[in-house]
Chain A
Amino acid sequence: MSYLEYNVKTVPAGLRKILYINWPIVVLLTAIASIGFLMLTSVAGGNMSRWAEPQMERFVAGLVVMFIVAMVPIWFWRNVAGLAYGASLMLLVVVELFGDVGMGAQRWIDLGFIRLQPSELTKITLVMILAAYYDWLDVKKVSHPFWVAIPLLLILLPTALVLVQPDLGTAILLVAGGGIVMFVAGVSWWYFAVVVGAAVGLVSAVFSSRGTPWQLIKDYQFRRIDTFLDPSQDPLGAGYHITQSTIALGSGGWTGRGFMQGTQSRLNFLPEKHTDFIFTTLAEEFGFIGSISLLTLYGLVLFFCIVAALQNRDRFSSILILGIGAAFFLYFAVNMSMVMGLAPVVGVPLPLVSYGGSAMLVLLAAFGLVQSAHVHRPRQR
């Protein structure tokens, strides 16, 4: 056990905790979400009630969840990390067996009031269990092969479950997110070099499996990769997304075409314009200034997370904050790379901006953990 317990007296109690919340992060998240509301109104042709209003309701609900999570002491969250991880694994299995099939992949559990996406939940519980693991593990042993194998197993188990759904985007995020947690916990550089090497091997294996009976990924995923490598070969077919989204981005110019004036997003029927491709609308309508502003807001969230992690002298808290920050980073980095033609099209939403309830709720709950770690951090007497 870390030394948190005997410094408890210095931790703020009761409603006073609200004063110790990391407010800059709250303000930044709200600003990002507001950009989302604006864009959702725009892609609905000015109709607020279609997407923007439900999104606002969910954001407010998410903020409430965030504050509730923040009020609960961080040591409670550390103690339930294993439980949360186990529960999300079980949900992944359940969704595999009974889930609704949406967009060609089994991803949802319908709870009536919310459609839960267990793979979203897993991204956070994975970070929690890894942080708890490294909090418990003797710091000197982190690079010992046996103690490296355990977290690897913890990462690969949900990854495998997500891959069979099949949801390549989430699988990548899980591996990358877990890897980053291992990295900040201090696992030797050498392991990462080996993994990168293995990844290269895996990619070549995936490609050589094409057309064989043991094909590792689905045909549509192959087509997306082909398209990424050469979008121009089929501008109206599979390459349509990327060609059209880069045109949309580029045509925005410095200042954009103005709110609700984007032609690409409206006339060309960009698919999923309110979810994965919403960034193109922002870029087209508000130009370079709009898109760089959003990027800056995301960057500032990361900055405040790293500062909070450095301030915090509890090992679990620091690793957790960095891990959640990294998950957030991976979300928007992958989404933006995808719409800008830097990465293949994998279904990853733009955090807090894309339309979608369960992703937003889980993300805000995760930031609740960051807040809890911040509020309950050990202080000098």
Chain B
Amino acid sequence: MKQTPKNLELSARIISRRSLVLGGVQLAFLGMLGLRMRQLQVEEAEQYRLLAEENRINMRLIPPARGVIFDRNGIPIAENAQNYRIVIVREDAGDVDEIVARLRALIDIDEVELERSLREMSRRSPFVPVTLADRLSWEDFSRVAVNAPALPGITPEVGLSRHYPMGEDFAHVVGYVGPVSDYDLSRIEDPDPLFQIPKFQIGKLGVEARDEEILRGKAGTRRIEVNAAGRVMRELGRDEGIPGADLQLTLDYRLQNFSKARLAGESAASVVMDVETGDILSICSSPSYDPNLFVRGISGPDYRALTENKYRPLADKTVQGTYPPGSTYKMIPALAALQDGKITPQETVWCPGYYQLGNRRFHCWKRGGHGHVNLNRSIVESCDVYYYDVAQRVGIDRISEVARDLGMGTRHELPMSGIAEGLAPTRQWKEVRRGEPWQQGDTLNSAIGQGFTLASPLQLAVMSARIASGRAVAPRLVKSVDGVEQAPPEAPPLSINPQFLALIRKAMHDTSNSRSGTAYRSRIVEVGMEMAGKTGTSQVRNITAAERARGVSSNADLPWERRDHALFVCFAPSDKPKYACALVVEHGGGGSAAAAPLARDILLFALYGEVPPLTAYPADQRERIGTLLSELDLMAPIVPGPGRSRA
């Protein structure tokens, strides 16, 4: 509809008039808002300031008790200990220096810690309580409490603090808690109001960090009325919050303790797994550190000592560390070849000590060669040439496929930090990641667990457990949450013919039970408890032709960092497998000498549930092992008392 000029004239008149009315109304409303502001902020300001300051209604958060972490027997691994501390509120204290001086006349306060508290105080608003002294003795605490009237702004508080009674044993797996840092806050999308509590502790590593949500619980609140001095006048309401849920792990505290003691002095890792349920009974990285140091806030020198140690105590070698698995990998190409019909168990390969591929020679660890080698001998005596040949027939992609079926090259989800994926290489992987085509030589190296192949001790344990049970068992670490038993993960049968698995198990049995086996010295003689295993020695350096001509230098002559890694995978009893174990000694030398004896002891401890009797060992070793076991630094078994175990 077209507006006539007359209409437009009318329109302009109406709009002018009405917009002035509208403007007037809006102005009036603004004026009203302004007057209300004046009323609140100028005329009644005093009254409201009093309300805000002198009689303010405060909400204080009550931190929930963190869930306790138990081992599989209900023994606490991480618990909450009473912690006596002194907090100060700057605006209530008035002269802070004077109050601190008076306080120091009563108790010792660490100079460094005091410095830190004073700095924190100046950074925060005057009404935020700041911790002055932490972890006081009961005597100091009561001395302050008695003198409280002379110490305005000071409050003695009882809180809960995390404590790890087993110290070093569980440091890597359970991790530790620490005060919320600015970094934590920046990382978390919607911070829990609990984080405003000074020095509130959250999980930083391991189970503590990964299951933080389960363990933390929900904050309670306390509505209180406080007066100008900050004193609580009365409590108006209380909402208790929900304590964190308890976790029970699959770990066995005694086996864990024994593993740590047995690995002491080495840079090593061991994992023991139940082959049926996947329960991890011990997962131990050596050397370790005391997580309680981190809860308190570790000192500079202590921390430097940990980071500068060449055995890397802070690293968790069980899941974060990946190593070339060496000969412990050989069951994989063997199973791939059997399954694909590329070899028969009886078929032999001639080992002259090397394998010729074009103009390159791939050497067997035994210079003189093994002669005619069939499947069983190839594992028992760990012939490399046999696997060079087999790998050529099967191809790398198929080998890696079987490797993944057995748990290699995949991340096993456990509530631990920094779990490594390892690597079961394929042609495609190399083309994508390295931008180079796959070479036949790569296949040979990968088949004997060298080259690109990488596995963590956890993955090696999973592989052993899968070979032992014939099922795709998945590792698990959490047995129950808040008293509710968790179902073990599904373990469907492997897609490998059980007959072939039996052949491999037999060969692994022979490895440690026949005279020619590489692990014969580490056999178990107790009938019904025999161990089946496979040794591995993985190079961390290339052997040059010149070196080989001179004779490969022995490990003892090399600096520690260049020695070979020693590996051993095993399970027992070999006829009816119960537990599987994988063990890596970093730069330990040969797998049969450095890794197998340790794994045997740990596996025996798991089978017996205590220090194994000497009758399980070959007669000629009993005396030496008796001494060795008696010298281990073991903890006494804990008798669970009433109330100790809640899980």
Is there a chain A Cβ closer than 8 Å to B495's Cβ?
Answer: no
Residue among B16, B30, B44, B47 with max Cβ neighbours from chain A (10 Å): B30
Knowing A302-B23, A306-B23, say if A139 contacts B14 (CB, 8 Å). Answer: yes
A 1-12 to B, binary, CB cutoff 8 A, 1 in contact else 0: 111000000000
Residue of B nearest to A249 (CB): B40
Knowing A186-B14, A313-B12, say if A251 contacts B37 (CB, 8 Å). Answer: no
B-chain residues with CB within 8 Å of residue A24 when the two chains form the complex: none
A332 to chain B, nearest CB (A): 9
Residue of B nearest to A49 (CB): B186
Question: A138–B37 contact, CB under 8 A?
Answer: no
Q: Which of B52-60, B113-121, B356-364, B602-610 lies at the interface?
A: B52-60
A-chain residues with CB within 8 Å of residue B44 when the two chains form the complex: 250
Question: A310–B40 contact, CB under 8 A?
Answer: no
Is there a chain B Cβ closer than 8 Å to A329's Cβ?
Answer: yes
A 316-334 to B, binary, CB cutoff 8 A, 1 in contact else 0: 0011001000100100010
Knowing A186-B14, A267-B127, say if A329 contacts B51 (CB, 8 Å). Answer: no
- Please report the C-alpha to C-alpha distance between residue A249 and residue B56 in the assembled complex, in whole angstroms: 14
Is there a chain B Cβ closer than 8 Å to A299's Cβ?
Answer: yes
Knowing A251-B49, A263-B56, A315-B8, say if A292 contacts B37 (CB, 8 Å). Answer: yes
Question: A251–B52 contact, CB under 8 A?
Answer: yes
Is there a chain A Cβ closer than 8 Å to B307's Cβ?
Answer: no
Is there a chain A Cβ closer than 8 Å to B41's Cβ?
Answer: yes
Question: A184–B18 contact, CB under 8 A?
Answer: yes
- Please report the C-alpha to C-alpha distance between residue A295 and residue B27 in the assembled complex, in whole angstroms: 11
A 248-275 to B, binary, CB cutoff 8 A, 1 in contact else 0: 1111111000001101101111000000
Beta-carbon contacts under 8 Å, B1-22 to A: 1-3, 7-8, 10-12, 14-16, 18-22
Is there a chain B Cβ closer than 8 Å to A127's Cβ?
Answer: no
B 16-52 to A, binary, CB cutoff 8 A, 1 in contact else 0: 1011111100110110111011101110110111011
Residue of A nearest to B21 (CB): A183
A276 to chain B, nearest CB (A): 16
Knowing A3-B8, A236-B237, A299-B27, say if A288 contacts B193 (CB, 8 Å). Answer: no
- Please report the C-alpha to C-alpha distance between residue A287 and residue B52 in the assembled complex, in whole angstroms: 14
B188 to chain A, nearest CB (A): 11
B 251-294 to A, binary, CB cutoff 8 A, 1 in contact else 0: 00000000000000000000000000000000000000000000
- Please report the C-alpha to C-alpha distance between residue A268 and residue B59 in the assembled complex, in whole angstroms: 6
Contact of B38 among A49, A288, A318, A336 (CB under 8 A): A288
Contact of A183 among B3, B18, B27, B48 (CB under 8 A): B18
Knowing A247-B51, A263-B53, A337-B33, say if A253 contacts B15 (CB, 8 Å). Answer: no
Question: B49–A253 contact, CB under 8 A?
Answer: yes
B-chain residues with CB within 8 Å of residue A302 when the two chains form the complex: 23, 26, 30
Question: A263–B45 contact, CB under 8 A?
Answer: no
Beta-carbon contacts under 8 Å, B166-205 to A: 185-186, 193
Provide the main secondary structure of the chain B interface.
helix
Question: B37–A283 contact, CB under 8 A?
Answer: yes
Question: A326–B22 contact, CB under 8 A?
Answer: yes
Question: B15–A288 contact, CB under 8 A?
Answer: no
Residue among B2, B33, B44, B45 with max Cβ neighbours from chain A (10 Å): B33
Knowing A246-B40, A253-B49, A306-B22, say if A268 contacts B30 (CB, 8 Å). Answer: no
Residue among B10, B11, B16, B42 with max Cβ neighbours from chain A (10 Å): B11
Question: A268–B56 contact, CB under 8 A?
Answer: yes
B-chain residues with CB within 8 Å of residue A184 when the two chains form the complex: 14-15, 18-19, 22
Question: A333–B33 contact, CB under 8 A?
Answer: yes
A381 to chain B, nearest CB (A): 16
Knowing A253-B41, A299-B27, say if A267 contacts B56 (CB, 8 Å). Answer: yes
Question: B48–A138 contact, CB under 8 A?
Answer: no
Question: B22–A291 contact, CB under 8 A?
Answer: no
Contact of A2 among B3, B58, B185, B223 (CB under 8 A): B3
B-chain residues with CB within 8 Å of residue A2 when the two chains form the complex: 3, 8
Is there a chain B Cβ closer than 8 Å to A137's Cβ?
Answer: yes
Question: B48–A251 contact, CB under 8 A?
Answer: yes
A-chain residues with CB within 8 Å of residue B7 when the two chains form the complex: 138-140
B341 to chain A, nearest CB (A): 51
Residue of A nearest to B51 (CB): A247
Is there a chain A Cβ closer than 8 Å to B148's Cβ?
Answer: no
A-chain residues with CB within 8 Å of residue B26 when the two chains form the complex: 299, 302, 326, 329, 333
B190 to chain A, nearest CB (A): 11
Is there a chain B Cβ closer than 8 Å to A60's Cβ?
Answer: no
A-chain residues with CB within 8 Å of residue B1 when the two chains form the complex: 136-138
A194 to chain B, nearest CB (A): 18
Residue of A nearest to B38 (CB): A288
Contact of B34 among A186, A295, A306, A313 (CB under 8 A): A295
Question: B37–A295 contact, CB under 8 A?
Answer: yes
A 214-257 to B, binary, CB cutoff 8 A, 1 in contact else 0: 00000000000000000000011000000010111111111000
Is there a chain A Cβ closer than 8 Å to B125's Cβ?
Answer: yes
Contact of B11 among A252, A287, A315 (CB under 8 A): A315
Residue of A nearest to B7 (CB): A139
Question: A306–B19 contact, CB under 8 A?
Answer: yes
B115 to chain A, nearest CB (A): 22
Beta-carbon contacts under 8 Å, A135-151 to B: 135-140
Beta-carbon contacts under 8 Å, A315-369 to B: 315, 318-319, 322, 326, 329, 333, 336-337, 340, 342
Is there a chain B Cβ closer than 8 Å to A309's Cβ?
Answer: yes
Contact of B48 among A249, A292, A318 (CB under 8 A): A249
A 107-145 to B, binary, CB cutoff 8 A, 1 in contact else 0: 000000000000000000000000000011111100000
Question: B237–A254 contact, CB under 8 A?
Answer: no
Question: A295–B30 contact, CB under 8 A?
Answer: yes
B308 to chain A, nearest CB (A): 34
Is there a chain A Cβ closer than 8 Å to B236's Cβ?
Answer: yes
Question: A254–B30 contact, CB under 8 A?
Answer: no
Is there a chain B Cβ closer than 8 Å to A180's Cβ?
Answer: yes
Question: A267–B58 contact, CB under 8 A?
Answer: yes
B233 to chain A, nearest CB (A): 14
Is there a chain B Cβ closer than 8 Å to A20's Cβ?
Answer: no
Knowing A180-B22, A184-B15, A333-B33, say if A283 contacts B41 (CB, 8 Å). Answer: yes
- Please report the C-alpha to C-alpha distance between residue A268 and residue B52 in the assembled complex, in whole angstroms: 10
Contact of A340 among B19, B27, B36 (CB under 8 A): B36
Question: A183–B56 contact, CB under 8 A?
Answer: no
Residue of B nearest to A291 (CB): B37
Question: B23–A288 contact, CB under 8 A?
Answer: no
B31 to chain A, nearest CB (A): 9
- Please report the C-alpha to C-alpha distance between residue A31 and residue B236 in the assembled complex, in whole angstroms: 42
A sample of 17 more A-B contacts (CB under 8 A), given A135-B3, A236-B236, A267-B56, is A47-B186, A139-B3, A140-B10, A184-B22, A185-B15, A186-B15, A246-B40, A254-B42, A263-B125, A283-B41, A292-B34, A299-B26, A306-B22, A310-B15, A315-B3, A340-B36, A340-B37
Binding site for B on A (CB under 8 A): 1-3, 47, 49, 135-140, 180, 183-186, 235-236, 244, 246-254, 260-261, 263-264, 266-269, 283, 287-288, 291-292, 295, 298-299, 302-303, 306, 309-310, 313, 315, 318-319, 322, 326, 329, 333, 336-337, 340, 342
Give 6 pairs: A residue, B residue, CB < 8 Å, sorted on A.
A139-B14, A184-B22, A186-B18, A268-B56, A269-B59, A322-B15
